Amino acid sequence: MLRAFFVHLSENRSLRKFAESSSIGRRVSGRFVAGTEIADAVRVTQAVNRAGMSVSIDNLGENVTNPEEARHSAQLYHQILDAIVAHQLNANISLKLTHMGLDVDEGMARDLVSGLVAKAASMNPSGFVRVDMEGSPYTQRTLDFVHELHRRPGHANKVGTVIQCYLKRSEKDVEDLLAEKIRIRLCKGAYKEPPSIAYESKADVDANYIKLMKMLLKSDTYHGLATHDENIIRQAQAFATREKIARDSFEFQMLHGIRRDLQQQLVKDGWRMRVYIPFGTEWYPYFMRRLGERPANVFFIARNLLRS
């Protein structure tokens, strides 16, 4: 119920326009969004790196409506890659295909993303581009896009995607991706989907996450387990230990501003951790989805508003 409410709010254009242009909106979003400029993302990434964690940087945005917006988005990502090199950051990038113009011109979007993958691959051995998953209307298009990019010369192991385990189709999608050794970020899913294609109960979503997590860990490909759920984290740790899976063969991933205590504890205990750091002026949809995922996020924002 809470998630559906905030997903609905995330699609409200009037509220979005007000929030993104107001000082109050920018202030309360600061818990989960690094800022509006590349320099903000660099600053936060440096702090996270000093704490022993790697980063994935995302310039927030989706569903551009013309080629100029798509090219501008791609250019910002080129600047992010330049900043990663210039500041020697332990970081890669995450992007959405609709931010690269998928709905405008798929061929253009493919060329823009391919250019970013090629640049990331040339930077250092760890250069990598994560293609984020969006709502279910984009699932197959995103997977087809990533499969094709991964097969291009020089792109193998340099581009990966995201699987949302609340979708009932995800096991087959994981099998197809693993067959080509494509790196996966496994998450629960943040979009509102109908029960015909998505599990509704937390128990079913968690069970599917654990099932897919085991497939990933046994695949001999480097994957990311994106979760703040301590029970799932404990099960992943126990499975990796029992199956003698090396701790440096996968990583846990969490969102900037959520469960920092748990992030630090995992690093202290010798597990790899990557923090997803978003920035940009188009932060509102992302912010509202984060509020919908955990009641604690709503309470945190409410406390800060009352203090101000």
Catalytic residue positions, numbered: 132, 185
257, 47 Cβ separation under 8 angstroms? no
Tokens of 108: 């253009």
* Whole-angstrom distance, CA of residue 77 vs CA of residue 109: 13
3-state secondary structure of 94: strand
Q: How many residues does the chain have?
A: 308
Q: For residue 45, give the amino acid letter.
A: T
Of 134, 38, 17, 143, nearest to 91 (Cα)?
A: 38
Give the Cα-Cα-Cα angle 17, 19, 23 (nearest 5 degrees): 125
* Whole-angstrom distance, CA of residue 109 vs CA of residue 1: 35
132, 164 Cβ separation under 8 angstroms? no
3-state secondary structure of 98: helix
Residue 219: which residues within 8 A CB-CB, separation 6 or more? 178, 181
Q: DSSP letter for 195, please.
A: T
* Whole-angstrom distance, CA of residue 278 vs CA of residue 261: 19
* Whole-angstrom distance, CA of residue 61 vs CA of residue 112: 15
Tokens of 202: 């937390």
The H or E element containing residue 280 is none
